[in-house]
């Protein structure tokens, strides 16, 4: 049973690190997308209504904890 617990703890740590990397990648992609949409919106904003004028904040619904080791 002790060996199984140790394996579970190591697997949990591995998955936590993977989740952190994915979260960082997602944040970078979101930032890049916002920049591109902002540029496109600025280019289209001169007298036109743009479909990209309201960029939703996708982080508002995020429940991911950047430091999951802390409650």
Supply the pLDDT for residue 59: 67
Residues 52 and 34: their CA atoms lie apart, in Å, by: 10
**Phi-psi region at 48: left, alpha or beta (left = phi > 0; alpha = psi -120 to 50):** beta
Contact 5, 34 (CB under 8 A): no
Supply the pLDDT for residue 50: 47
Supply the pLDDT for residue 44: 84
At 1, the pLDDT band (50, 70, 90 cuts) reads confident
pTM above 0.85, yes or no: no
Residues 18 and 5: their CA atoms lie apart, in Å, by: 20
Residues 38 and 48: their CA atoms lie apart, in Å, by: 14
Contact 66, 23 (CB under 8 A): yes
pLDDT digits (tens, 9 = 90+) for 33-61: 999 999 999 988 765 554 545 666 666 65
């Amino acid at each position: 049973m002790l060996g199984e617990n140790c394996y579970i703890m190591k697997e949990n740590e591995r998955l936590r690190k993977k989740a952190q990397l994915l979260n960082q990648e997602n944040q970078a992609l979101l930032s890049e997308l916002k920049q591109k949409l902002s540029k496109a919106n600025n280019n289209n904003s001169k007298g036109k209504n743009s479909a990209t004028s309201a960029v939703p904040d996708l982080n508002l619904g995020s429940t991911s904890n950047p430091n999951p080791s802390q409650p």
